[in-house]
Amino acid sequence: MDRIKNVRKAVIPVAGNGTRFLPATKAMPKEMLTIVDRPVVQYAVDEALQAGIEHIVFVTSRNKSAIEDHFDDTPELISSLHRAGKTVQVSELERILPKAGSMSFTRQQAPLGLGHAVWCARDVVGDEPFALLLPDMVCHGARGCMAGLVDLYNDVGGNVVGVEECDPEETSKYGIVGQGATVARGFAVTKMVEKPRPSEAPSNFYLNGRYILQPEIFDILARQERGAGNEIQLTDGMLRLSETQSFHAQPYEGRTFDCGSKQGFIEANVAFALARADIGNLVYDSLRNLVLSHEATVKAA
């Protein structure tokens, strides 16, 4: 059996335009919108680092320089905070500062789909397995989703995807996987179907935006024809890869919020705020009062 190579690098695509959040994203990358007090993209980076990833590869586009600046040093700001005695803020900024040379940025010049964005990272990733985290999908739980994928990958090798269960009547909203034999903490993937009708879905386990993929995916994506939306689809490439390589799924025990939608973004802010020791109780009381006020207004209408 071939030695299982360590997953050292993670790809985070951040090239999207964020049109669903206009006008907020007119001058700000959607990945820099904040959940409580941290930008969306920071959650993906923290999750990758928690899983043991050593190098982050961002696939960017025009007008995304704020992301690069966010992960750079800010000596003037640090000095100002020190003078003001704001040590907590200094510690947090120092915590998110990456090690020198541990982040790379490459461009996707045209919006040709997720599969194309992943392909754009090929030269930085090289000939080794890599993690892929979609930053719009923000995981909330005691442990990050990617850490579980790495654990399963270290047992089985091949390709691993993160999954969660959805309402069986809502499978047409997601990419759905077929559930095979139980392996370690996950299961073998028997098929992958994009947005199947409930009557045709092989299970109710949906892909939640976390992947570990082998480098052979790059050659497949290089030849991949455009699919849905006239874009190069990652799922199409994974289907091709599954013809010759194994795929396993790791169910996530937390919850993933789709912060590419307004509803998911708001829900994520509420969930993360309620989980905070410093503001959780205050937010709960405020939300309770808002809900009660809303219900009274609706009844009176």
pTM summary value: 0.92
Residues sharing a CB contact under 8 Å with residue 118, sequence separation 6 or more, in sequence order: 11, 13, 59, 132, 213, 217, 218, 221, 234, 237
pLDDT at 1 over 80: no
Amino acid type, 250:
Q
Containing H/E element for 286?
A: helix 280-300
**Please, which pLDDT band fits residue 184 given cuts at 50, 70 and 90?**
confident
Structure tokens at 275: 């989980």
Containing H/E element for 114?
A: helix 114-119
Structure tokens at 128: 């080794």
> Looking at the DSSP assignment, which residues form a beta bridge with residue 130?
9, 213
pLDDT at 229 over 50: yes
**Please, which pLDDT band fits residue 128 given cuts at 50, 70 and 90?**
very high
